[in-house]
Amino acid sequence: MLVKADTLLEQIKKHLKENYSLGCNFTNKNTSQKPSNIDSLELNDNLTVRELEHSLGAMFNVEVKLFNSEGYSIPPEYTLLQAKDDIFELEDDHNFNTKIQALNTISSSSSYSDIDWVKRVFMQILRDAQSSDHFQQIEEILDVVFQDNEKFMQADFDEIAEAINDKKLALKI
């Protein structure tokens, strides 16, 4: 579909729904329209969500938000073809992985100083740890945090390591 300045927003909505199973929300920007240097936009499989939202926003002076067939927003880097099959589901290990990611982020931050929080996150992760793979990941990150963060002391390391061992024993891992 080729979108031009005189294309109705309803037509765009209909096209995205019929061809990509995508919902589309348009909200007025409440600002005077700036002249747009975008005359037209081809809605094709390779167009990214970011490009679409940005270009249509500039052409029609609206905020554009695409959402998938479950009503969730779509990562902006997805193409329309990828967005068509997008499903947002939490993986089984979501809570564990979220905290591992958080600890990775924290440990890579040299300015990070809230050691109490780091320790709390380790304790939170241990609640979700169920497999030897989980414990291996936790132990690896513990080593990284201990090496990289001078405010994370030997006593902090020992406290977490002991908690890990206790949980492993409890689970017979």
Q: Which residues bind other proteins (CB under 8 A)?
A: 14, 17-18, 23, 25, 50, 67, 69, 71-73, 75-76, 88, 90, 94-95, 98-99, 101-102, 105-106, 108-109, 112, 114, 117, 120-121, 124
Both structure tokens of 43: 């809605």
**Residue type (1 letter), 30:** N
CB atoms < 10 A from the CB of 114, how many? Answer: 11
**Minimum gap (Å) between residue 4 Cβ and other proteins:** 21
Scanning the structure block, which residue is given the tokens 């479950």?
A: 70
The β-bridge partners of 48 are: 79
The β-bridge partners of 86 are: none
Nearer to other proteins among residue 73 and residue 79 (C-beta): 73
Nearer to other proteins among residue 11 and residue 36 (C-beta): 11
**Minimum gap (Å) between residue 69 Cβ and other proteins:** 6
Nearer to other proteins among residue 37 and residue 154 (C-beta): 37
Nearer to other proteins among residue 40 and residue 147 (C-beta): 147
CB atoms < 10 A from the CB of 146, how many? Answer: 18
| CA 20 vs CA 15, 31, 56, 81: distances in Å | 8, 30, 17, 7
Both structure tokens of 73: 């927003």
**Minimum gap (Å) between residue 90 Cβ and other proteins:** 6
